[in-house]
């Protein structure tokens, strides 16, 4: 029987270099595993195509009319447009004489991301340009700003299926009955977050990816309280004594931490029917069955350690730190009309013209919902369980809340 010869150092290095990761193999504890989201991959592919087009004159920041013509005539595309100037004007949303990356993504990203498995960025660009050319050719006379907008919507119609197109009749009805409802509606919430507005496809995708990659935060709170019976004298021409039952809040404790979570959120498909979107975000998070026992044990230990009075109000919430309830997304920053702000919204609510404000916003801003689906699998940070006022806790002794039960 032949003896087994140990491989040389060179052969060992070659074998190690050729090793492929084993399917199902668990990563080493503490190792960082990088997962490229479909949204990031699509964005990288489209960004690469834009840089190729924009770099024809040595400046990769924008695409000029000459570069656009050269791209349409290149062997890879070979596209003849009936209304090339009008198509270019449609891509140049801000009218600067050239279109930048945000404008390019606004035109092409919807179609490419809807069919990324079946086409490359060049084919997506070809279909968009053909769609724009056909829509503009069907418009009578010189293309107006309205015709350009309608052409863009028509060229993206296939990719936009399933997205909301406007304000519902129910919303208009509720706003008629209660004018201040505009402050609670998605458009109203979005304009209130204008300081944190997401400008361009890149910022929006970065926000989506951060939410997908983020763990889930748990927050446990406990408020201790008891009843006290007090007497006081009330003078209204004569003196009388009443007994009242007072709810007195005492020790309050709060702790939070992060949970590792598996993300099952579908690939994000942007709603590009309008240049602005009110992006409503929700979290659907659940604790995995294997973690449930430990999660409940730690939570109940925290509650038990901080139980100091007769009664307790307890809360247990899960949230996503990067997530905004409603985000204002603008695909191309071409200026904001005067009515698309919190001041105009509040004025409409105060003057009972909320329906008019919603109608104006319906033409300016679309709507989209995204639900982040998470399954929590483990603790990333320990929950403190020390006594009242210990580390990790916020303790407050509130004044009495008087509840009158009778004379």
**289 and 392 share a domain?**
yes
Q: Are 339 and 251 in contact (CB under 8 A)?
A: no
**Which of helix, strand or coil describes residue 313?**
strand
Give per-residue pLDDT as tens, 243-260.
677 889 999 999 999 999
**255 and 314 share a domain?**
yes
**316 and 182 share a domain?**
yes
Give per-residue pLDDT as tens, 220-230.
999 999 988 76
- Distance between CA 391 and CA 384 in Å, rounded? 7
Statement: residue 167 has pLDDT above 90: no
Question: What is the per-residue burial (b if ≥16 Cβ within 10 Å, else e) of 313-346?
Answer: eeeeebebeebbebbbbbbbbeeeeebbebebbb
- Distance between CA 336 and CA 118 in Å, rounded? 36
pLDDT attached to residue 286: 95
Statement: residue 11 has pLDDT above 80: no
Residue 112: CATH number of its domain? 1.10.238.10
**φ, ψ for residue 225, nearest 5 deg:** -160, 165
Statement: residue 2 has pLDDT above 80: no
Look up the domain containing 55 and give its range: 36-155
- Distance between CA 12 and CA 16 in Å, rounded? 6
Give per-residue pLDDT as tens, 126-143.
888 888 888 777 766 555
In eight-state DSSP terms, residue 99 is B
Give per-residue pLDDT as tens, 182-220.
898 999 999 987 778 999 999 999 999 999 999 999 999
Give per-residue pLDDT as tens, 18-43.
434 433 344 444 444 445 688 898 99
For 137, counting Cβ atoms within 10 Å of its Cβ (0-12 exposed, 13-18 middle, 19+ buried), the class is middle
**63 and 101 share a domain?**
yes
Q: Are 110 and 126 in contact (CB under 8 A)?
A: no
pLDDT attached to residue 146: 55
pLDDT attached to residue 3: 41
Give per-residue pLDDT as tens, 51-75.
988 888 888 889 999 999 998 888 8
Statement: residue 15 has pLDDT above 50: no
Give per-residue pLDDT as tens, 282-310.
999 999 999 999 999 999 999 999 999 99
Instruction: Kindly tell me the sign of the dihedral angle through the C-alpha atoms of 103, 61, 36, 42.
Output: positive
Residue ending a domain, choose from 155, 179, 209: 155
pLDDT > 90 in the chain, percent:
40
pLDDT attached to residue 137: 77
**359 and 252 share a domain?**
yes
- Distance between CA 272 and CA 159 in Å, rounded? 9
Statement: residue 331 has pLDDT above 70: yes
Q: How many CB atoms lie within 10 A of CB 260?
A: 15
Q: Residue with structure tokens 């035109």?
A: 107
Kindly report the average pLDDT of the chain as a whole number.
79
Q: Quote the number of domains for the chain.
A: 2
Q: Are 177 and 80 in contact (CB under 8 A)?
A: no
| Residue 14 maps to a domain | no
pLDDT attached to residue 138: 73
Long-range own/partner contacts, residues 292-296 (CB < 8 A, 24 or more apart): 294/379, 295/218, 295/376
pLDDT > 70 in the chain, percent:
74
| Residue 250 maps to a domain | yes
Q: Residue with structure tokens 């929950």?
A: 383
**216 and 259 share a domain?**
yes
Q: Residue with structure tokens 């989209």?
A: 368
Residue 45 or residue 111, greater confidence: 45
Q: Are 365 and 340 in contact (CB under 8 A)?
A: yes
**262 and 398 share a domain?**
yes
pLDDT attached to residue 240: 59
Mean pLDDT over 225-236 rounds to: 74
| Residue 25 maps to a domain | no
pTM above 0.85, yes or no: no
Estimate to the nearest angstrom the gap between the alpha carbon of 52 and the chain centroid. Answer: 30
**Triad 151, 101, 329: Cα angle to 5°:** 75
For 241, counting Cβ atoms within 10 Å of its Cβ (0-12 exposed, 13-18 middle, 19+ buried), the class is exposed
| Residue 8 maps to a domain | no
Give per-residue pLDDT as tens, 392-402.
444 444 444 43
Statement: residue 172 has pLDDT above 70: yes
**228 and 294 share a domain?**
yes
Between strands 311-319 and 216-235, the pairing is antiparallel
pLDDT attached to residue 219: 96
pLDDT attached to residue 392: 47
């Amino acid at each position: 029987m032949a003896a087994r010869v140990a491989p040389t150092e060179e052969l060992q290095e070659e074998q190690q270099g050729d090793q492929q990761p084993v399917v199902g193999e668990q990563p080493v504890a503490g190792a960082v595993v990088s997962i490229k989201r479909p949204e990031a991959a699509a964005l990288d592919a489209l960004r690469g195509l834009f840089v190729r087009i924009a770099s024809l004159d040595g400046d990769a920041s924008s695409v000029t009319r000459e570069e656009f013509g050269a791209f349409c005539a290149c062997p890879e595309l070979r596209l003849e447009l009936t209304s090339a100037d009008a198509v270019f004007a449609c891509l140049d949303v801000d009218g600067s004489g050239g279109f930048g990356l945000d404008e390019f993504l606004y035109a092409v990203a919807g179609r490419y991301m809807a069919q990324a498995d079946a086409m490359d960025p060049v084919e997506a660009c070809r279909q968009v340009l053909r769609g724009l050319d056909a829509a503009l050719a069907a418009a009578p006379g010189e293309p107006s700003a309205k015709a350009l907008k309608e052409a863009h919507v028509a060229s993206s119609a296939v990719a936009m299926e399933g997205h909301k197109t406007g304000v519902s009749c129910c919303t208009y009805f509720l706003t008629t009955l209660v004018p201040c409802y505009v402050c609670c509606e998605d458009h109203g919430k979005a304009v209130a977050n204008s300081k944190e507005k997401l400008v361009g496809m890149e910022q929006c995708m970065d926000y989506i990816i951060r939410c997908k990659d983020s763990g889930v935060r748990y927050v446990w709170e406990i408020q201790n309280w008891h009843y006290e019976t007090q007497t006081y004298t009330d003078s209204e021409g004569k003196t009388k004594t009443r007994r009242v039952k007072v709810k007195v809040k005492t020790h309050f404790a709060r702790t939070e931490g992060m949970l590792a979570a598996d993300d099952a959120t579908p690939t994000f498909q942007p709603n590009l029917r309008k240049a602005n979107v009110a992006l409503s975000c929700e979290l659907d998070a659940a604790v995995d069955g294997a973690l449930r026992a430990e999660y409940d044990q730690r939570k109940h230990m925290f509650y038990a350690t901080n139980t100091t009075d007769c009664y307790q109000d307890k809360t247990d919430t899960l949230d996503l730190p990067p997530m905004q309830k409603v985000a204002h997304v603008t695909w191309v920053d071409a200026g904001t009309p005067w009515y698309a702000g919190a001041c105009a919204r509040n004025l409409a609510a105060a003057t009972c013209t909320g329906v008019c404000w919603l109608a104006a916003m319906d033409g300016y801003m679309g709507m989209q919902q995204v639900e982040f689906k998470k399954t929590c699998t483990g603790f990333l940070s320990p929950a403190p369980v020390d006594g009242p006022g210990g580390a990790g806790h916020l303790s407050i002794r509130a004044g009495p809340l008087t509840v009158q039960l009778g004379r």
